[in-house]
Structure 1
């Protein structure tokens, strides 16, 4: 890095105003979303009488739709070069679905509304994460994603608390939760429109981060699907995608974890919405320090350690069901898992993807992971229905242990090779355009 580039990067804050504004949007939106998420498993299973297989199917669709739409959101954001616009459409669509929950009370229409809400989430996730990475220097991306996830998780803490209080005081509790959630979601969209910078500011930030001063904005060639798919030629990105898929196949849905806890210790229905609060609180406390740690020691070790914590949580649910501290330990490990993975994975992806294809690269890995979790929800729900929750969780734990071992090998840098990934045009299969900027920092 030359002295001129170093000076430019020295003026780039570790956490930019873009990250803080997006964090505020995510905080408000998560209050809205987690109010619904906190009551949804019990509403579906106890209120509507769904079987574990039925709930697993609906939960899988809930996440699978988001996964498929991520590719569209990421590609559109890169193609129109306006990440805020695509993210805003996603946030708006999710907000529109909240009041519709007041009108549907059967499985079919409810599934359609949840699928539409997840469509909004899928559209916004990759453009939002691309905005964070483009406004942050590579050496600070773990911290930036950690700060964003901490703000996001603050909303995840407040959402279940709000749902709990509403259920205690409202006569028609579930409808009251859905109505308040709709109002909060609209507020989140307004904050995005008013406070998140637009296209010109993002391009200036990306140019400054790349060390190009304030004049350039990287590759201006039209982005097409062929370029996005060609990203998988990057060895390190391909390795990250494979590992995300493998580990996602054995990551049991949050809702199932909470239902397992409820069955193990007999939690009363009125306290059930507070279970996600434990996960969120630990995530909130650890997101920033874990992100800083990932910047210092590398993403690989932190990412795998998070899955080790999840495996320990599975073990406690299997072999210590009568331990008084069980819910606290499981929720703490669950929150640690998210702190070690949720922001670290996109930071690792951003390290190896060119600026002009950033949202597409994030979408490729995110889609693979989410589709794998969709399959896990279906399989776990079916296994629970056929064999019971204990055997279903045991098979998931064995699968997670095996997949974590494979991921540790796949993500390990080749002997004698430096961590950075080759980002030359020859490696990506694309001709170099004059003025194109790229990063040479690899995911470790």
Structure 2
């Protein structure tokens, strides 16, 4: 496996490095957002749900736009550069926000940047390798991305331990933004196989296989269960995890995902994507149900977050490899665009509903709602997505 990883094209490694640096900045700030909103801007779970829901929905819309455009123009690099630039500009501006409305506007810009870069980047990765290397390719990318998610929270923890004000930590995000922009300019796109082009842009699912359409439905239901991770950090803080350990807790999740993401995704190239996804989704459901119970201890939270890290490791690369497997030739960008659109748009109702239940009723019922949605998605994935198919695993 190590030989296969080292032999991956330069573009795969460069994109992974860009994601590592970018996520170092993003994840340095991510675990601080609930603290910043609550302690500086005096905003609660409802505001958090609105901010994250709108931000992720925005990202999803632009993922479809950029995906369709990259299939038409066959140029991914300009959108990748623009996307990282917008994100890099937006994050430091949170330091000067004086209300949660301003944070919403800044997160909107940040997520728009993510939307513009994600589908072109995923399509470029899929086109840079052979079909039997997609699992390891997307796994490596997600591992490097999550390595940044280890570095970022550790930096946040260091800043907090030396008494750095929250606003100043946000300002430091400009440094990795400059590095990311410079690296993105060095991307070279692979030679693309000539395929017939449509005479006009197509924003529909026309030409996509039925199995992919069913998978979109199921992925959307699971996304309804997967509200913003900020609620997990908020729950951990309310359960007694000290403020300075919150970034470390988030870093631990990312470390687990970094270590296990590549080997698990690589195994899906031979073991099958479906099995990995099903096992991970049932683990997710149990994790959310357990997180909601009153009286949960800090030790139990750390153990549960470890399970959550394994869930992310087993799905992040595999789900994208499955999309690439199902996408017709020349429509990888559009397929990733639709997948990202559906899963991202569902994050708005997911975060809004979760935040409302959390604040208005009780945390337990919010977590039970997410766990229930995950169980429904599990059943549909197991018995509906692959119907009328001779074999159940895409390899």
What range describes the TM-score normalised by the shorter chain of this pair?
over 0.9
Q: How far apart, CA to CA, are the structure 2 residues paired with 1:110 and 1:65?
A: 14
Given the alignment, which residue of 180, 184, 193 partners 2:172? 180
**Change in CA separation of 1:275 and 1:443 when aligned onto 2, cut-off 3 Å:** same
How many Å separate the matches in 1 of 2:5 and 2:136? Answer: 13
What's the CA shift for 1:125? 0.6
Matched, 1:81 2:74: yes
Counting only pairs closer than 5 Å after superposition, residues 332-351 of structure 1 correspond to structure 2 as: 332-351=306-325
**Aligned residue in 2 for 1:443:** 394
From 222, 226, 232, the counterpart of 1:257: 232
- State how far apart, in whole Å, the 1-side matches of 2:274 and 2:254 are: 23
1:377 corresponds to 2:369: no
Paired with 2:79 and 2:277, the residues of 1 have a C-alpha distance of 29
Q: Scaled by the length of structure 1, what TM-score is found?
A: 0.84
Match for residue 290 of structure 2 among 304, 316, 320:
316
Render the CA deviation track for 1:285-307: whole Å, top value 9, x for unaligned. Answer: 11011111211111111012111
Tell me how far 1:348 sits from its aligned partner: 0.6
- 1:170-219 CA-to-partner distances (Å, cap 9, x unmatched) read 54x2222111111111101101112x213xxx12xx4xxxxxxxxxx221
**Are residue 237 (structure 1) and residue 229 (structure 2) matched?**
no
- Aligned 1:329-408 pairs, distance under 5 A: 329-408=303-382
Structure-2 residue corresponding to 1:274 = 248
Q: How far apart, in 2, do the equivalents of 1:377 and 1:282 lie?
A: 24
Aligned counterpart, 1:168: 161
> Does the Cα contact within 8 Å between 2:91 and 2:107 map onto a contact in 1?
no
CA offsets 1:18-45 (integer angstroms, 9 cap, x no match): 1101000000000011111121111112
Q: Which whole-Å deviations, capped at 9, do the CAs of 1:89-121 have from their partners, x for residues lacking one? A: 111111111232232221222211110110000
| Contact residue 228 and residue 357 of structure 1 kept, 8 A | no
1:106 aligns with 2:99: yes
Higher relative contact order (CA 8 A, sep 6+): 2
Query: Which of the numbers 181, 197, 202 marks the counterpart of 2:188?
Result: 197
Distance 2:373 2:327 in 1: 30
Matched residues, number: 392
Determine the structure 2 residue equivalent to 1:304: 278
Match of 1:221 in 2: 197
Q: Quick one: structure 1 residues 151 and 408, their matched pair in 2 at CA, closer, same or farther if it must change by over 3 Å?
A: same
Provide the C-alpha distance between the structure 2 equivalents of 1:276 and 1:230, rounded to a whole number of angstroms: 40
Structure-2 change in CA distance of 1:386 and 1:396 (3 Å): same
Q: Does structure 1 retain, via aligned residues, the 8 Å contact 2:211–2:386?
A: no
**Cα displacement (A) at 1:222:** 4.7
CA distance in 2, matches of 1:12, 1:46: 44
Cα deviation code 1:233-292 (max 9, x no counterpart): x1121122111101111113211111112212x122222222211210111111011111
1:242 to 1:20, Cα distance in 2 relative to 1, 3 A: same
**Equivalent residue for 1:247?**
222
Query: Contact between 2:31 and 2:233, CA under 8 Å: does it hold in 1?
Result: no
Give 1:323 deviation, angstroms.
4.3
Structure 2 equivalent of residue 425 of structure 1:
none
Q: Which runs of 5+ in 1 are unaligned?
A: 1-10, 207-216, 420-441
Specify every segment of 5 or more residues in structure 2 that has no aligned partner in the other structure, as ranges.
none
Q: Is the 8 A contact 2:323 2:335 kept in 1?
A: yes
Shift of 1:15: 2.2
Q: Give yes or no for the alignment of 1:293 onto 2:267.
A: yes
Q: CA RMSD in A?
A: 2.1
**Cα offset for 1:354?**
2.8
8 A Cα contact 1:320 1:326, kept in partner: no
Matched-pair contact (CA < 8 Å) for 1:45–1:55: no
Distance of aligned partners of 1:13 and 1:153 in 2 relative to their CA distance in 1, 3 Å threshold: closer
Q: Of the candidates 95, 101, 119, which is equivalent to residue 112 of structure 2? A: 119
Deviation at 1:46, TM superposition (A): 2.8
- Using the size of structure 2 for normalisation, the TM-score is 0.94
The whole-number CA distance in structure 1 between the counterparts of 2:46 and 2:218 is 27
Q: Distance in 1 between matches of 2:5 and 2:194?
A: 17
Q: Distance in 1 between matches of 2:95 and 2:211?
A: 45
**Cα-to-partner distance string for 1:65-99 (whole Å, 9 max, x where unaligned):** 11111111111222221111111111111111123
